[in-house]
Amino acid sequence: MHIPVLQKEVIDYLAPKPNENFIDCTFGQGGHASAILEKTKPNGKVLGIDLNIRFKGYKRLILEKDNFANLKEIVGKTKFGKADGILLDLGLSSWHLEESGGGFSFQKQEPLDMRYNAANQLTAEKIVNFWSAPEIEKILTEYGEEKFAGEIAREIINSRQEGQIKNTSQLVTIIRRALPARYQRQKIHPATRTFQALRIAVNDELNNLQVVLPQTLEVLKKGGRLVVISFHSLEDRIVKNFLKDKVKENLISILAKKPVVASFQEIKDNPRARSAKLRAAVKV
């Protein structure tokens, strides 16, 4: 079983006990859910939600292939009832990067897709080939916080005059052409922010997060815990502001005053953990 980011911290803050029921809104490869099920024996249940579920459920694990933005509807449909805790791990799973073939990785040559849901009409290929320079620049700036968004957008427009941009390798080459040499020698890959921005735009990720957060409080029992792991500042800001507002409304109490981050050892073992931030709260 793949060990997910901040596994120990997730269990510490969710504090699962025997026979309690939890919802894992981002089931992925089931690492967090597996640890929760172990702690909630003999009768505790986990409802796992993901658009790319590749496992079968069983008596204590109920799996739903759906968008977590539909949380209340899913809970109603499955008759799961109120939860003792809810987890949102917003990171891109290793399966998406390594096995999906969906164009999420800038280190492989794959079609420019980036959809979590194949029913979605919008793809990264459509954005880079048909959106205008201002539209592309806007998402690179807002979703990627890319300071060379204008240069990359213009290079995309120029490049597509010579033919359609169809795969990730073509896009990486275009991004490199648009960036100054010094910027390409930084720790993170020069295409990181552009790929992040395209993925967020294709899957409407920030809107989905804003939609699901209020639902979590409706689905949680009194005393139930919410844990959210984010991987970039845009997500973390949304979570932070949501929790701050709900504290003012006396609906929750914050469990971690500052975001919890991965240990040096975890980052060494799993470099993807370096940008993870965990925030936790309890419904009062």
Residue keyed to tokens 């699962």: 16
3-state secondary structure of 282: strand
pLDDT tens digit at each of 284 positions of the chain: 467 899 999 999 999 999 999 999 999 889 999 999 999 999 999 999 998 887 888 889 999 999 999 999 999 999 999 999 999 999 766 655 666 668 888 888 899 999 988 888 999 999 999 999 999 999 999 999 999 999 999 999 999 999 999 999 999 999 999 998 887 777 788 999 999 999 999 999 999 999 999 999 999 999 999 999 999 999 999 999 999 999 999 999 999 989 999 999 998 888 888 889 999 999 99
Q: Beta-carbon neighbour count of residue 146 at 10 Å? A: 24
Q: Residue 254's beta-bridge partner residues?
A: 281
- pLDDT value at position 106? 84
Q: Which domains does the chain have, with CATH numbers?
A: 7-94+205-283 (3.40.50.150), 97-203 (1.10.150.170)
3-state SS string for 117-180: CCCCCCCHHHHHHHCCHHHHHHHHHHHHCCCCHHHHHHHHHHHHCCCCCCEHHHHHHHHHHHCC
Helices (H), the chain: 7-14, 31-39, 71-78, 94-98, 124-130, 133-144, 149-160, 168-178, 192-203, 205-219, 233-248, 264-269
- pLDDT value at position 2? 60
- pLDDT value at position 95? 57
